Amino acid sequence: MLNCTLLDDYQNVALSLADWASLYPAVQTRALQQHIADDRALIAALADSDIVVIMRERTPLTAARLAQLPRLKLIVTSGMRNAAIDLDACRARGIAVCGTSSSSAPPLELTWGLLLALARHIVAENQALRGNGPWQQHLGVGLAGKTLGLIGLGKIGGAMAQVAQAFGMQVCAWSQNLTAARAAECGAQLMPSLPALLATSDIVSLHLVLSARTRHLLDAAALGQMKPGALLINTARAGLVDQQAMIAALRSGQLAGAALDVFDTEPLPVDHPLRQLPNVLATPHLGYVADDNYRRYFSEAVEDIAAWLQHQPLRSLL
């Protein structure tokens, strides 16, 4: 019998959202709820695992870690892209890597939830109300007539543009490869450069893949080009923004606020300033964490394992 371990099942729902019993008796499955950051503890937890199912990029599977897991034969990740898996090391060790499909609707919905909550100070006002504090404290930012700057106009960025127009916002967009045709299709104004977008936008939202070219795209210089008092939304990848430069801009007031769902280190350290800044609205990487998406992830993970057992792997990342 093969052993399958599901990592980072924070909500303790993975085993109830798919038919893992269909893999028995060939495979027995267990789920671990607590994140394991320590190398030794992780290797010990996975020492007897033939199959590991990981949730997005929560737990990196590096070459060093893979070298200490000689039993590992199959990795299944939610989604079809995972920068936390060393694919070259997997090829070298003969470890199969498969993925699942993923819906763009949950991250889109969360992005708008964060944007609205940040602009209208919903969390602070709710906390004051629940604590019998002041009745109304903040002057919110209305969206109608404001400009939303989208950095990246792919599937999620394009949907962001459509929703923004429903709110009566002006939409502009930029990325290195964005075409005028794609911008027009989404109802967005194509900006000639990143500085032009930053100088124009009241709210900036990031929707790019993290790569060597996009890492720290918003550095101190770029953040300084934003409109004074602008808002920044990042539900894509933390590495798109220089975190220390962003913290400095938030402290100085150059940025009026930031709504964040992604961080350089996850879980975010308990003493991290992003947990304390009053003009930061942060959530613990919830973009994809929704019921239908999770059912898709885990059901397709079961399919991947069943197909691999038949020597017909599905959705290979290699």
Q: Which of 216, 266, 272, 295 is catalytic?
A: 266
Q: 117 near 123, Cβ under 8 Å?
A: yes
Specify whether 237 is catalytic: yes
Specify whether 266 is catalytic: yes
Q: Residues 208-238, buried b or exposed e (16+ Cβ, 10 A)?
A: bebeeebeebbeeebbebbbeebbbbbbbbb
Q: Which of 56, 121, 207, 285 is catalytic?
A: 285
Specify whether 65 is catalytic: no
Strand ranges, E, within the chain: 2-6, 27-31, 51-54, 74-77, 96-98, 147-151, 170-174, 189-190, 203-206, 230-234, 255-260, 280-282
Q: Which of 121, 207, 237, 296 is catalytic?
A: 237
What phi, psi does 128 have (nearest 5°)? -65, -40
Half-sphere exposure of 24 (CA within 13 A, CB side): 6
Nearest to 205 by CA among 238, 157, 243: 157
Write out the catalytic residue numbers: 237, 266, 285
